[in-house]
A and B are shown apart, each in its own frame.
Chain A
Amino acid sequence: MREKVSFFKRPAVQTILASVLCAVIGILLGYVILLIMNAEHAGEGIAAILINFFKFNNNSKVLMKYFGSFLVKSVPTILCGEAILFAYKAGLFNIGCAGQYTVGIIASIYCSVGLGWNWFLCVIAAMVAGGIWGLIPGILKAYRNVNEVIAGIMLNWIALYVCNIVLGTELCMDTTKSETHDIAKVNPAGILPPFMKDFFGGNDYITIAVPITVIIAILILVVLNKTTFGYELKATGHNKDAAKYAGMNAKRNIVLTLVISGAIAGLAAALLYLTGIEHYKISGSVPGTGFDGIAVAFLGGLHPIGTIFAGMLVKYITLGGSYLNTNYYNPQVADLVIAIIIYLCGFVLFFKTFINKRGKSKVKVNANAEPSQKTAEEKEV
């Protein structure tokens, strides 16, 4: 019993519980919305979202193929979460992640489709582009004290229109379909090398993007916790006055953090589009993946590894939307469920305190209880 209480009192456990609680409540609310829209089919609707591609479980090859695609599509969401998290640890809210992701799209598609570069160079180009898009708010913040949120939001829109202009040309886009050319046809060297293709049922899109994502997450974990650079970043994030007192170069750190965060966002775009699974379509709004990253980072408890699972969960439910019976429901219902979960992410902290309080009151009950009752209670638990 005693050990159990201390287990629940561990911050990590509380964060995980809070995140899981968020997700569960989000799904329940989603169910309620399905009930309101069409009560008759709500049960099968929510089931379709949750069962998702596992409905192919009678055919392991197809199942693995779908699972592979799911992983591929999770990659950018996870990496955007990592980008947000990294900046957040240094006390910066990199909402410009969406724009950095967008310039990552420009660079990766333009370099591979337009210029016919090798995949490796395309990935580097996307990271550089994202990095530059992070550098701008970084410099503004460090040397002119311009709020990185404002600068970031404006750069998001600039990135979008630049993207529509650059990728909207004949060079990159099949103007009849108004989406970018298929990289695999135009420039096979621009496609990322495959990864365990046979294991994933011959899925063409499963590439080294997946292991790279895991490596990036581990790298961030190591940088934040084991290196002097991470020590400086977190010190600045926690207390920038103390960081200044300690002689840390706050300006350089702000710029560097946003550049790295931007580069991760750029990488996120490259690792999706260079698999060929999706094409860029001219759009009137900034790609949402960068914004999803905010929710993913918080849902993941601001932990690089937690962010992986949070990113997968968010993507899983989004994908689930396409399994809804469109006779009864609009697939965007899944987006609504995601939106609710994201909204609830703001409550992760609240849930954490809630769990904490529950723990406390339990202890109190025990302290007041008679010894005999206490043992009875212990057995029950």
Chain B
Amino acid sequence: MEDYVIEMLHITKEFPGIIANDDITLQLKRGEIHALLGENGAGKSTLMSVLFGLYTPEKGVIKKDGKEVKINNPNDATALGIGMVHQHFMLVDIFSVLDNIILGAEPNKLGFLTKADARKKVIELSDKYNLKVDPDAKIEDITVGMQQRVEILKMLYRDNDILIFDEPTAVLTPQEIDELMKIMKGLAAEGKSILFISHKLNEIMEVADRCSILRKGKYIGTVDVANTTKEELSSMMVGRNVKFAVDKTDAKPGQEVLKVSNVCVKSKLNSKDSVHNVSFNVRAGEIVCIAGIDGNGQTEFVGALTGLDHIESGKIELCGQDITQKSIRYKNTHGMSHIPEDRHKHGLVLDYTLEENMILQRYFEPEFNNKGLLRKNEMHKYSDKLAEAFDVRSGQGATTIVRSMSGGNQQKAIVAREMDRKHDLLIAVQPTRGLDVGAIEYIHEEIVKERDAGKAILLVSLELDEVMNLSDRILVMYEGEIVGEVDPKTTTLQELGLYMSGAKRDDRKEAM
């Protein structure tokens, strides 16, 4: 008999109108890395919430070491040695690493903290798994990759032996991802059992022993990663074959649509510019990509470009017209579409319905506005039209509250809205962030279609695959400056990496 440390057998969890988990079985062997693969909305999060006692399943049992257990709340899960590294870290910024690790399990004598023992244990664990964490550093001073290791140490400190990683690589740089993969393998070698939730196939292929696939709440199967291929996994995940490379012909650039000259943006944190002297252009019918590691001024630059942030100096021209100091409304109605980086913060009013969100920048136009009254019928029709054209799925159609939709469908709704609006320039910032393969493929195709229809596209992305696959020209941003322009057809990932890390830069006066 196999040595399973955790078994979730025939789990069924229903929500009103939807079966989130339909007879799902997941068996985790001792000392293995088990990937859980599925699109957004496939039921991964629900299944994990069941394991953590946040939801009670309608049917099914959970077994630990072959014995049935009841998990009614997260404390039960912790008592069973189950720990989780969340996608968004649960750390106190102004505390030290050590303080964060012991938080919630503070060692004490008569109410007085005894940190010395804890400190010893943390250093031991850090050395054992090669985590290289400094226990005295403050969280706010260390990198995201390091913060993640603090989360891992938190689980180890609590002697958890079942570790769940919820999309751990979403926030990491390529180098940090490599490091994490090594750490995960090290943990498994020491007998920890790891559940690795992801939809990044490369990572699963690299690190996992076995992989269970969910699709639309149903259990599709479990495969040995050694005997499978990326293509097989992805077709199991989305139910059809997926193309990884983007089909596109060569760009046929036309008129200059966007011209950016010497744009500077003041940093909110220090006296340095967060964007310094950025100049480039984007022509109709081409996709220009700004690549770079997160936090190198991309967000601030897009803020200045779209009007969300204050621009310090420089000039922005759209179709030959100076729009530097124009309002957001003016830009919206004069040819600029913007898929924002943060769909929850900027892109959507989550408590509005789908139809209300679809007209977010257009509600005042005669199509939807009759002497100050909203034309609800038109809104409804328009929303249905877009939802159908862009395959936006929602529970109650146009009147669905957007908050209840899956992340992928929320993003598709934004893409639909921005692409349907009259525009010459599309600014797409991380348009596929947090999406699954099927949705990514779809959004990439749409962007290429836009380009072929003669729109100018400015793509800002942190995903190197996306940068290489989609763009016609790549500009690399490092510490607020454009440090190089490369041709995706002739460059390599290594070269791009050198630019992104600041190790290489072109001396360029004028980027065209």
Residues of A at the B interface (CB closer than 8 Å) are 9, 226-229, 231-232, 234-235, 238-239, 241-249, 363-364, 367-368
Contact = CB atoms under 8 A, between A and B. Distances in A.
Contact of B352 (A226, A235, A241): A235
B360 A246 contact: yes
Contact of B346 (A9, A228, A241): A241
B374 A228 contact: yes
Contacts of A243: 349
Contacts of A249: 329
A249 B58 CA distance: 48
A244 B376 CA distance: 23
B16 A9 contact: yes
Contacts of A241: 345-346
Contacts of A244: 308, 328, 346
A243 B347 CA distance: 9
Contacts of B349: 235, 238-239, 242-243
A227 B372 contact: yes
Given A231-B356, A238-B349, A238-B350, A245 B308 contact: yes
A226 B373 contact: yes
A228 B364 CA distance: 7
Contacts of B376: 226
A229 B372 contact: yes
* Secondary structure type dominating chain A contacts: helix
Given A235-B360, A247-B329, A367-B14, A242 B348 contact: yes
Interface string B372-389: 111010000000000000
Contacts of B347: 242, 245
B338 interface: yes
A234 B376 CA distance: 16
A238 B351 contact: yes
Contacts of A367: 14, 58
17 contacts: A9-B16, A226-B373, A226-B376, A227-B372, A228-B368, A228-B374, A232-B363, A235-B360, A242-B345, A242-B360, A243-B349, A245-B308, A247-B332, A247-B361, A248-B329, A364-B58, A367-B14
Nearest to B346: A245
Given A9-B16, A239-B350, A245 B372 contact: no
Interface string B113-156: 00000000000000000000000000000000000000000000
Interface residues of B, number: 34
Q: Residue among B56, B349, B368 with the most chain A CB within 10 A?
A: B349
Nearest to A363: B16
Nearest to B329: A247
Given A9-B16, A231-B363, A247-B329, A226 B374 contact: yes
Given A227-B372, A245-B340, 18 more contacts: A9-B16, A226-B374, A228-B368, A228-B374, A229-B372, A231-B356, A239-B348, A239-B351, A242-B347, A244-B328, A245-B328, A245-B360, A247-B327, A247-B330, A247-B331, A247-B332, A248-B329, A364-B56
A231 B351 contact: no
Contacts of A226: 373-374, 376
Contacts of A245: 306, 308, 328, 338, 340, 346-347, 360
A247 B328 contact: yes
A201 B397 CA distance: 53
B394 interface: no
B343 to A, nearest CB: 9
Interface string B11-41: 0001010000000000000000000000000
B477 to A, nearest CB: 22
Contacts of A234: 352
Contacts of B56: 364
Given A245-B308, A367-B58, A238 B372 contact: no
B40 to A, nearest CB: 21
B373 to A, nearest CB: 5
B367 to A, nearest CB: 12
A302 B328 CA distance: 31
A228 B369 CA distance: 7
Contacts of B332: 246-247
Nearest to A359: B16
Q: Residue among A9, A227, A229 with the most chain B CB within 10 A?
A: A227
B374 A231 contact: yes
A65 to B, nearest CB: 41
Contacts of B345: 239, 241-242
B283 to A, nearest CB: 26
Contacts of A368: 58
A367 B369 CA distance: 46
B329 A242 contact: no
Interface in B426-442: none
A91 B332 CA distance: 24
Contacts of A228: 363-364, 368-369, 372-374
A368 B346 CA distance: 43
A234 B374 CA distance: 13
Contacts of A229: 372
A344 B369 CA distance: 40
A368 B306 CA distance: 54
Contacts of A247: 327-333, 361
A238 B328 CA distance: 19
Contacts of B372: 227-229
Nearest to B14: A367
A363 B17 CA distance: 13
Given A231-B363, A245-B347, A238 B352 contact: yes
A110 to B, nearest CB: 34
Contacts of B340: 245
Contacts of B361: 246-247
A147 B350 CA distance: 25
Interface string B464-481: 000000000000000000
Closest 8 CB pairs of A and B: A247-B329, A247-B328, A245-B346, A246-B360, A238-B351, A247-B332, A239-B349, A238-B349
Nearest to A222: B373
